[in-house]
Amino acid sequence: MPFNLFKEEVAKEFGIPVQFQGFWLWAKRKNHTHRPNRPLTHLEETQSVGQLREVSNKVHNAELKLFLEVELGQDLRPIAPPDKTKDDILLFFKLYDPEKEELRYVGRLFVKSTGKPSEILTRLNELAGYDPEEEIVLYEEIKFEPNIMCDPIDKKLTFRASQIRYPDVPSYLEYVHNRQVVHFRSLEKPKEDDFCLEMSRLYTYDDVVGTVAQKLGLDDPSKIKVTPHNCYSQQPKPSPLNTTSDILYYEILDIPLPELQGLKTLKVAFHHATKDEVSGYSYYKSTVGDVLDDLKTKVELSHPNAELRLLEVFYHKIYKVFPANEKIENIYDQYWTLRAEEIPEEEKNLGPHDRLIHVYHFTKDTAPNQMKIQNFGEPFFLVIREGETLAEIKVRIQKKLQVPDEEFAKWKIAFLSLGRPEYLQDSDIVSSRFQRRDVYGAWEQYLGLEHTDNAPKRAYAVNQNRHTFEKPVNIYN
């Protein structure tokens, strides 16, 4: 088919008269995009469609791909494509709007190769919709590295530049070159995207948290912490890896991050007073009293006025009860377990002859020529009264531990000092064995409950039930 007849078919299909049609050949660029490359010449338009296909064959594998350009005049009616001479250079122009952060195509001009940019400013203002005498800045776009050709003062930007992120073309194209859509997820829901933001690869950490704070409506960006994504585990990563990802995790802190980084984290296991469960928490606080005060607002207490204490537990023995004014920075919890629990009411009203003793579970290894005591389970304190027999104390121990009668009947109870058990009878006065007057006794002397370690384990919910205060527990382990 002659190309002129093809143009008539296009006129019927698109409603554009033949004299207003401008056809371009496409070309594949080095960045693997396809762009209009050049307009068809008058000679090429006298050829057949098949001949033109051969021109395009090297790029498009025997397909003829054309771009149809229609230029509109001021009355929005089509106008004929301009004629081009040997001395003309075809230039395309885009207009950058710094307020909208938008770069859009506005038209093309044929200019003389010997001409100067200043000679076409009036025509450019017409394309842009500006006043004919408006001063503009003209750039040449080369692979996102703009080189200035003509740089008069831009009157349109001087009074608003301080309110605009990218006031000129170079800064905007640098942003376009480096921008990336980032998916943000809450640490509490690490599998779900909360929102997406367009950011620059050149952003600093402060730029990122500032943008996230604006999205979340927070006044203080320093209370936001972001963590990168581990592409291998599909989880937050605790330390930098040589991988890149468009996913970031965020958390909202109660205190600014710089202040937070100067504080010590403290992991605390709260033992419920009446339920057989343990919940894990992690704190950035100053003192033990601060931790316990905050913990009371987060956990379920047996009654509103319950008081808490913090214990240091190691190998199933209680080694210390922390005073409220103890600084967290002095507490080492790498190997010790820190346990928070309610203080029973009976411990608050000790008589002058009452004792608060340690009670531990143990088994006995009776290998030949040796006897080894092995502690297990959860240690606890118990109030014993003066003159109270073992039979009376056993009732309270069984009730506290909720052990069935058949099982409890198999238990043996002994007084242990420095690892040596002295088994007690129901009629023995237990308080006579404990001579020390220390309020909490000593871990070297305790009442031992000997039985097999077949009790169900308490569900330690540190990794399942996370509660966020100033800083969540490290979920990356």
What average pLDDT score do residues 404-431 get?
90
pLDDT number for residue 368: 65
Q: Which residues pair with 271 in a beta bridge?
A: 278, 341
More confident residue, 123 or 152: 123
- 4 vs 133: which has the higher pLDDT: 4
Bridge partners of 424? Answer: none
**Which of 65, 72, 73 has the alpha carbon at shortest distance from 24?**
65
Q: Please give the residue that has the higher pLDDT: either 231 or 219.
A: 219
**Residue 142: its pLDDT value, please?**
64
Give the angle 122-123-124 at the CA atoms, nearest 5°: 90
Q: Are strands 355-365 and 445-450 parallel, antiparallel or unpaired?
A: parallel
Q: Which pLDDT score is estimated for 195?
A: 92
Tens-place pLDDT, residues 232-278 = 556 665 544 444 678 888 988 877 877 776 666 677 888 876 665 56
Which of these, 349, 371, 358, lies nearest to 421 by C-alpha position? 371
pLDDT in tens, 44-82: 889 999 888 887 766 556 678 889 988 777 677 777 777
Q: Which of 163, 186, 165 is nearest to 176 (CA)?
A: 165
* Three-state SS at 249: strand
- Measured N-to-C along each axis, helices 3-14 and 49-60 cross at an angle, to the nearest 10 degrees, of 80
Helix (H, G, I), strand (E, B) or coil at 427: coil
What's the confidence (pLDDT) of residue 465?
32
pLDDT in the model for residue 409: 92
Residue corresponding to tokens 């554009």: 16
Specify the CATH number of the domain 178-256.
3.10.20.90
Residues of the chain with CATH 3.10.20.90: 88-167, 178-256, 265-347, 350-450
Cβ neighbours of 203 (radius 10 Å):
16
What's the order of all strands across the beta sheet hosting 355-365? 372-384, 355-365, 445-450, 412-417, 420-423
At residue 290, what are phi and psi to the nearest 5 degrees?
-60, -45
CA 112 – CA 106 distance, rounded (Å): 20
477: nearest Cα among 172, 238, 154: 238
The DSSP secondary-structure symbol of 328 reads G
CB atoms within 10 A of CB 392: 14
pLDDT at 5 over 90: yes
| Residue 320, CA distances (Å) to 6, 293, 356, 381, 383 in order | 94, 19, 14, 12, 17
> CA-to-CA distance for 23 and 246, rounded, in angstroms?
40
Of residues 382 and 335, which shows the higher confidence score? 382
Specify the CATH architecture of the domain 3-79: Roll (3.10)
DSSP assignments along 8-20, one per residue: HHHHHHH---GGG
88-167 carries CATH number 3.10.20.90: yes
Please indicate whether residue 111 or residue 8 has the higher confidence score (pLDDT). Answer: 8
Model confidence, pTM: 0.46
Q: What is the dihedral of CA 44, 84, 17, 75, to 10 degrees?
A: 160
Assigned token pair, 424: 């007690």
Q: Domain 350-450, CATH 3.10.20.90 — does that match?
A: yes
* Segment 291-348, tens digit of pLDDT: 888 888 888 888 888 889 998 888 888 888 889 888 877 777 666 788 888 888 888 8
User: Residue type for 386, please?
Assistant: E
Helix (H) or strand (E) holding 71: strand 71-72
CATH of 265-347, one of 3.30.750.80, 3.10.20.90, 3.40.50.720, 2.40.50.180: 3.10.20.90
- Residue from 395, 368, 369 nearest 382 by CA: 395
